[in-house]
Every structure is written in C-alpha cells, then in structure tokens.
Amino acid sequence: MEFQFDLIIVGAGSGGLAAAKRAASYGAKVAIIEVNKVGGTCVIRGCVPKKLMVYAAKSKKNMISSEGYGLKSEGIIFESKILLKNVREEVSRLSNLHKNSLKKLNITIFEGLGRFITQNELEIICPKSKKILNKVSSKKILISVGGKPKKLNIPGIDLAWTSDDIFELDGFPDSILIVGGGYIACEFASIFRNLGTEVTQLIRGKSLLNGFDEDLSSCLEESTTSAGINIISSHQLKSIRRVNENLESTLDSGEKIITKNILIATGREPNLMPLNLDFLNLKMDGSYLDVDEFNQTSNPNIFAIGDIINKPNLTPVAIEQGRVFSDNFFNNQKRKVNYEYIPKAVFTIPEISTVGLSEKRAKEIYDDKNIKIFKCKFTPMSNTFIENKSKCMLKIIVNKLTDKVIGCHMFGETSSEIIQMVSISLNAGITKKDFDITMALHPTISEEFVTMYG
C-alpha cells in the first residue's frame, strides 16, 4: 500500500506538536489532525489560561494585603469579564503561533475529528455536520488526543461546569461549590476565592491532594481554610437541581448547599471514545492505552503518548514522549523517557512543589528505619508586614543507607521555581552532604534547603 504520509498524529496538543516538529525536522512527511484549536489541553483549557488566572488572583491578594508596606488598597475593583476576555485572546494568540510553526515546517494540518478506518487509515469528520471531509493514510499513526474532564453520574450533572467550561465564562459567580480534592479543584478554589468568590470545596476523602506528601496536604488545608474556603470532607455529591437563580447540591448526608454555580473537578480521563478504536483490539491498561517503553501499542503501526497512557499526565512528560518517539523512529535513535524525579507543582496561593518520593512512599520502599526527614516551617520575610501570615514549609527525605536525597517538597511562594533546580540535583544523585556543603544565598526562602541539619 502506498501511504500519503510517513506519520499522522491525531491531536495537536503539547505531545503531538513536539512529535510532529521533531519528525519533520528529520525529513518525515507529517500530518496532524485536530478537532479543536491547535495547542491541546495545556494551551487551550489547562496550564496556560489557568496560570494567567493565578497571576490575577495573586495580584489582587498582594494588593489588599500590603498596607503594612504603606500601600493603600482602597478602591480596587476586579472585573472578571476583562480577565476572561484577555485570557481567551492570549490563548488564541498562542494557538495561532503553534499553527504557524507547523506550517513553516510543511506539516499538513487537518481540521476535524480523526477516526480510524484501518490500522493505517483515518477519516476526518466535521464535528458539526458529521460529514467525512477527507481520508488519509500513513505508515505510522501517533495518538495524542489528551484527556477530558470526568463527570459524575448523578441527577442534574449537566447543570454543573467542568474545568473546560471555566475559560469560556463571561464573568465569575458570587458563590461556587467545587467538587474534588485534587490539584485542579484546589487551584480553582484558590483562584476563585482570591478573586472574591465565596467557595465551598467538597472532597470525598479526609484530606486534600491525595497522593502528595502529607505535610504538603496539611499545609494546603491550613492555608485554604485561613483564606475563607469552606472545606467539607468525607462526603459526596448525590444530586443537583436548580432553585430559582441558584443551584442546590444534595450530599450523601442529606445536607443541602446553595450556590450560584458548581464546578466538578474530580479528575480527567483519556478521550479515546471518538477515535473508533474498538475494531483494532488494542491492549488496554485500565482506561489507558497500553504501550511499551517506546510508546508502541499492541498494533506495531500505532503509537500513543500523553494523557491517554498510564504515565504522569504532565505537559513536559508528553513533550518528551513526543520527541523521544520521533528521535527513535525517524532518526534511528534508541532513547527512552526518564520518568524518575519529575517535578510537579500545584498553583494554589501559596503554591506547592514536589520532586521525588513522599515520606510515606519512601518508608514503604526503604523501611522506616532507613529514612531520615529534615523539615522546617517558617514565616517568609515577604509576609513580615502582612496580617494573614501564611507559612512556608520545606522538607527533605534522605535514604540513610546511601545519604542520597530521594524527595524534596515545598509549600510557599515561588516553590515551583525553586523545585525545578532541586530536581536537577536529584537527577544527578545528590546527597544530603552535598546540600550541607552548599553555601546559602541569604536572605531567601530556598536557602533553607541547604541549612537544615539534624
């Protein structure tokens, strides 16, 4: 069979774009299919627009809490319509930049929904009319369609928003119930509250950020509560109904909560349904596509990267997966993705960052007696004249058998910027002694990482 392309990528998100550009740089004839704007979850409805909202929330918080520094905050007005309009314009600008960069590399862009018709062929469908716009074929096909928000199977769920809907709002509500305790829920709770919305956060478990280090979770809960967010733990949402201009949420306890709007932020899942994959009988890993160390599915012509495989669902991970894929199959390299010591951040206010093992996980792997914890908690100098003095927390986890640092965690301002550099150290195999003999930069928050002794 004669193929039109060397590579077709379904999904123009971070991973798909990285794979397309890298493959094209090696001379491959590449096409990319996208049903929405070019850019994917991160650029269109995730990291980028959300971080812009975080900057807005942080700016307002700083303005109204800085009178101790002689800054008067009377007359501050927040216009959510202006913020949302500017966020959408920036998203469109970035999407167009990505689209133009593909065109410069002679990568063909097909706008529409890609559906498999054979293991090497796809049809491109108009999402509105359902008409077939084109049919394309390729030696290799890379699936990079990303995820979609999970929805609860309860009465009235269509009355609630998902995280995708937030960026299309005309304005912020006066009050909101946020369902979920993960990073998406916590970030939006922080954004809304700091921009003036009354926030209630409903979590199924006992604590926020399940899976993160417990000290990070407790620091965030303390900060969240002090910011005026009402946390309801160990309960679930059972139904939603409209009552006049409001929404009434009924919990499993029978308690009813009245808010203007509801955001369901209970996680994301692979967006595989539209692809028509059933006839290919691809091996699955739960709800994810199963791939080998080279991101090859059980069909040798089909590959998968990003949020549809059971690896850390993070933008830099998807980008690296895409580049490694193209390096291997279009430049004869034998690269593998290094999944150790991937830094993570939660952009609450203050923010959280982490790299390596949590205390609980480290003790499970190496035994309690072989783990040593170094930790400090303090008020940063920037909060000296601020009434609501949020704390910083820094934590180092050390394997006593080797003196290697196997985990670093931080809660506090600029923690994401600090942990990026720490992750380099952990990847290089740094020891606690290396931390100890490093000179501190004073006065900074990060100096605490090299001045903790025990």
442 is catalytic: yes
Q: Residue ranges per domain, the chain?
A: 5-148+269-330, 151-266, 344-450
Q: How many residues does the chain have?
A: 454
pLDDT of residue 223: 94
Q: What's the pTM?
A: 0.95
Equal CATH topology for 151-266 and 344-450: no
Reduced to 3 states, what is the DSSP secondary structure of residue 198? strand
Q: How far apart are CA 340 and CA 375, in angstroms?
A: 23
Q: Class for domain 344-450, per CATH?
A: alpha beta
Q: How far apart are CA 138 and CA 36, in angstroms?
A: 22
159 against 70, higher pLDDT? 159
Which fold does the domain 151-266 belong to in CATH?
FAD/NAD(P)-binding domain (3.50.50)
Q: How far apart are CA 45 and CA 164, in angstroms?
A: 6
pLDDT tens track for 260-318? 999 999 999 999 999 999 999 999 999 999 999 999 999 999 999 999 999 999 999 99
Read off the pLDDT band of 386 (50, 70, 90).
Answer: confident
pLDDT of residue 71: 85
Residue type at position 168:
E
The alpha carbon dihedral of 3, 6, 11, 12 has a sign of: negative
State the catalytic residue, choosing from 98, 235, 409, 442. 442
When the pLDDT of each residue in the chain is averaged and rounded to a whole number, the result is 96
Which fold does the domain 5-148+269-330 belong to in CATH?
FAD/NAD(P)-binding domain (3.50.50)
